[in-house]
Chain A
């Protein structure tokens, strides 16, 4: 059997797209070289396009990349392999990829000159290899403890130092020529995960399990400064290319941090990029002077703009403002509110003073004092018209373009509480709200010259106290209002009839309501709740249907919009303002601003970025952010940044995934790649199973007794997903897991469902909008791992597979209320980790099982008369070198098996023999699940684990 253990007829499988940990990044000239598992990918920085992509190592992953001094060759190394390739051959696609190997793990590698390379291995040995004939010398400093990290540092003066990061013994710095240990730095606790020396030979930096960064003087070995901030382990560090007092660091907490040594004993954290990646771990990164590139466990590659001009904050103190506009503001006077126009910013102070800030020349000009605006004033405007509108207590409107001011008499003569503006296609609206619930709203319509063309009284819907946001649907002439407790009211402005929908989600305040899509008698809305919940819904005025709803876990939502079909949200989290791309699951920017409190702020979208204007500690701050890179610098798409636990493919390539990060993602397989739409946070932890129940419903199960049913839909060709029901918890035992479930469709919206539990329970439910428990029993005391229904004629059976290696089949009565065991047989020594049960013909099913015991079995379930029997077709005790984790059916007699040994195998069976027809290694570690679908007559296999891989069969 030897040698057929891991490769056989490999061409039966054609890998198409892998997603997985990015383990090496090197910026060189205009290119980014990326170790994407075994693949080398090269991107042009300017265009952000991929210019090269090839699998260069057979199995091993690339962990280090270097370019020769003459720029002609590239050196790749990773695990125990290394390779040198000529770059122009590579680009002309005529390079030969000759993978070479040493016996131990290569920590890092580099060129010492054009024809010599150095490899540092995990036992602190350096191979100095002459590339012309591969003669070599092995050099060590006599300290051979195991390393977790290390670097080879060629200093400007030509000296070469090895910096070795050990497990127990701190940092060891030694000179390659003299083989002498220069320093053994022991200030860190725990394993060292990164250490480097700057080119000029001034500093050493290191990081370890203790979560600190330490900076040393290279000439004395003295510790100069510490950098604290990372929330978990730090995986890498780099000096900036030309400023050796600046450092970047990346880590397990998915942050990228920029530090500066300013001579004090604490490194200053200049910038913090949070949530750069999804899940956990930024494994690799490199920095040039004004860009930084990071690669995560999520398989995403991101380029970050370090140019400070592109996120610039201007600050003006109240005193400064008062001085430049030559007007004495009162003590305690503050800026109440502001509105920005194309060329200027109009400010209203608490004492009724109006000030204009000229953006071009950065000067403040005093505009005047308005006594009715003392202690009150709502500042809004219409940017398209270049007009700022300020309402006083009586609802009169002060209108200004920054030069002239004019009052508009609203003629309501009553105290107002708020005004709202709305504009669309040369129509401009102001809605006035007053505190008395019996007094209607007044809706003003203006034309392009800002003359009132219409005034309407709009009766308040019942119990509408304070509204927080409005939107107008001009197609249907509907006014949409948001109020407390996530309640909306829709008023038909023709008939003035209104309809109220209460409690659309949890939470209290709707921070923004916006119209996605109006069509005749239909309206799609995006509702953002401050607590972090966003909802897409469709209404026809008489009812609403929720399409999509999710809760952000990162912070509050103040607003957002849909841009190019991507949901962009912004808000505050602790002391930061942040902009978040929900579709791509990345943070676009953050700005330290002291949090929201009750401060005024404005967020303004611009052509190529945005402005965020806020008050902070008596300063007016104007933050301008510009996108330097397209797609937010996201160069390569990725997936979950944690181990994928299960996946399921539905209609039209819809792909649902659950992962260790406790999220469910909804994706689509398009052009051999995976496009991500949503990442749902409804589960708490311990994800177990995900399965499409039919084309409209998806089910998922997890720890905490969670089982959720999701309704699938689509809005504007974008698939949507919404939790419609979940099982109630019966016990306060977080560890109680629903291991698996199965369903039988009764109608397209109702199901019979079986759920199986880690405490040996089996439950049968009827689902019709809600759950109705039909029956429950207990298997034994062990954990039930798998469940599936099967039917012979009208007879329904339930098959379970358990940790004791048995399968059991229960016959259910027609009403599902009673059960009796009809079969029980041991197929494996211990846990049955995977099953696949499918109907072969009217009176038999095929059951394939895979176990923790590395074995697979193929059986036939036959019903003869009233008797169900199981007949073994064949079994293989040596089906894999490790646990079998999934079985996916290709056709009636062929199936694919994944196991943790990272070998994917294609099996077939006939009569009484089972045969392995193909075997191929997958780079997806912790291989845990798979599914097969057919798209355009092509069979596609999706493999999940620590990453995701798409193969053609």
Chain B
């Protein structure tokens, strides 16, 4: 992620730099916390899909010093005080077991995921992959969260989001769709805030190295294989988080001074770096 001129004009981006956050996403978590007091009385947390790490920074600052914070991402992360960082794929069964090991039998108070896959543009596929990220995070929550614990995850409010709401409502006292002011209203992004974890009675879930998220959840699916499932959809309350006087992320602000601070995050090399180089060097020309 390089900085574009659009970033430079974004007030949240500028504020993030001034305040030392690695990404403007920090404000999303802060605004969610303002609304739901997420950080009250929590010590053991997992931050999934955490790179570059602004949520972990927030957590590391706001939680007591003896807290346990585990941050996981596909991308490498620069270390943060008091945070254990892991580079791994959260959809992989091994990753969840590794996280579990770090807790050594203790339970977590709070699990969050700000994960988003690379968008292909094929909406149904993108929504499916996003839902798998959320389910992996939920799978971890089911195994690691203490009863009453909190779970939040980034969602895209597309079709079938009401199916997810319904699933989550079986596992938490309260499920809310929250949108922080720092998240643009033109983006489909929002966060599902799940409060008061209540384990499913009679289900002793276990993580297993050979079990995928699919296998894990199939234990509680009652539909007969191949039948179109009886779909229970549910609408949940929507809450806009942040003060009305907060910066509007859709607005264009004028009279900004030139930004001279360094980019908050080092750009990572995209997979197509070589293709770009070859094109630049004219090695891309068609050969007959």
Contact = CB atoms under 8 A, between A and B. Distances in A.
Nearest to A104: B214
Contact of A122 (B128, B234, B248, B274): B128
Interface in A47-84: 58-61, 79, 81
B238 A122 contact: no
Contacts of B252: 733, 735-737, 757-759, 783
B250 interface: yes
Of B129, B213, B240, chain A has the most CB atoms within 10 Å of the CB of B240
Given A2-B234, A853-B240, A61 B287 contact: no
B80 interface: no
B36 interface: no
Interface residues of B, number: 71
A229 interface: yes
Interface in B129-164: 129, 132, 157-159, 161-162
B267 to A, nearest CB: 15
A228 B221 contact: no
Of A59, A280, A852, chain B has the most CB atoms within 10 Å of the CB of A852
A186 B166 CA distance: 39
Contact of B158 (A736, A803, A901): A901
Looking at chain B's contact residues, the main secondary structure is loop
A90 B72 CA distance: 50
A47 B129 CA distance: 40
Interface stretch (A153-161, A443-451, A826-834): A826-834
Contact of A831 (B128, B250, B279): B250
B96 to A, nearest CB: 13
A755 interface: no
Contacts of B254: 731, 733, 759
A6 to B, nearest CB: 6
Contacts of A855: 238
Contacts of B161: 881-882, 901
A843 interface: no
B157 A209 contact: no
Contacts of B181: 830
B128 A760 contact: no
Contacts of B212: 123, 144
A490 to B, nearest CB: 44
Contacts of B123: 925-926, 946
Interface string B178-190: 0101000100100
Interface in A123-180: 123, 125, 134, 136, 142, 144-146, 148, 167-168
A422 interface: no
Interface string A757-791: 11110000000000000000000011101000000
Contacts of B162: 5-6, 881, 901
A100 interface: yes
Nearest to A1: B235
A901 B233 CA distance: 12
Given A122-B132, A734-B5, A925 B240 contact: no
A6 B234 CA distance: 10
Contacts of B233: 2-3, 5-6, 881
Contacts of B225: 102, 136
A102 B226 contact: yes
Interface string A225-241: 00011111100000000
B275 interface: yes
A901 B238 contact: no
Contacts of A269: 286-287
A121 B226 CA distance: 13
Given A5-B234, A855-B238, A781 B228 contact: no
Contacts of A903: 159
A214 to B, nearest CB: 12
Nearest to A229: B284
Contacts of A229: 284, 286
B238 A853 contact: yes
A264 to B, nearest CB: 10
Interface stretch (B40-48, B87-95, B101-109, B195-203): B87-95
Nearest to B93: A144
Contacts of A297: 121
Contact of A782 (B9, B229, B251): B251
Contacts of A900: 157-158, 188
Contacts of A109: none
Contacts of B250: 758, 782-783, 785, 803, 831
Contacts of A210: 271-272, 274-275
B228 A283 contact: no
A6 B254 CA distance: 43
B81 interface: no
A146 B240 contact: no
Interface in B256-288: 270-272, 274-275, 278-279, 283-284, 286-288
Contacts of B278: 228
Contact of A105 (B125, B165, B270): B125
B89 A145 contact: yes
B37 interface: no
Nearest to B214: A123
A173 to B, nearest CB: 19
B89 A125 contact: no
A805 B239 CA distance: 12
B186 to A, nearest CB: 9
B1 interface: no
Of B6, B74, B118, chain A has the most CB atoms within 10 Å of the CB of B118
A21 B125 CA distance: 12
Given A3-B233, A102-B225, A882-B188, A733 B165 contact: no
A684 B125 CA distance: 29
Contacts of A2: 232-234
A648 to B, nearest CB: 20
B62 to A, nearest CB: 25
14 contacts: A5-B234, A193-B120, A208-B271, A210-B271, A228-B283, A228-B284, A266-B287, A833-B185, A853-B240, A854-B177, A881-B162, A882-B158, A900-B157, A902-B159
Interface of A: 1-3, 5-6, 21, 23, 58-61, 79, 81, 99-105, 121-123, 125, 134, 136, 142, 144-146, 148, 167-168, 188-191, 193, 208-212, 228-233, 252, 266, 268-270, 272, 280-281, 283, 297, 592, 731, 733-737, 757-760, 781-783, 785, 803-805, 829-831, 833, 852-855, 877-878, 881-883, 900-903, 921, 925-926, 946
Given A103-B217, A146-B132, A148-B129, 12 more contacts: A5-B234, A6-B233, A58-B228, A59-B159, A103-B214, A136-B225, A592-B286, A592-B288, A803-B248, A852-B185, A853-B238, A882-B188
Interface of B: 5-6, 9, 74, 89, 91-93, 117-118, 120-125, 128-129, 132, 157-159, 161-162, 165, 177, 179, 181, 185, 188, 210, 212-215, 217-218, 221, 223, 225-229, 232-235, 237-240, 244, 248, 250-254, 270-272, 274-275, 278-279, 283-284, 286-288
The 4 A-B pairs with the shortest beta carbon distances in the complex, nearest first, are A190-B271, A925-B123, A882-B157, A211-B275
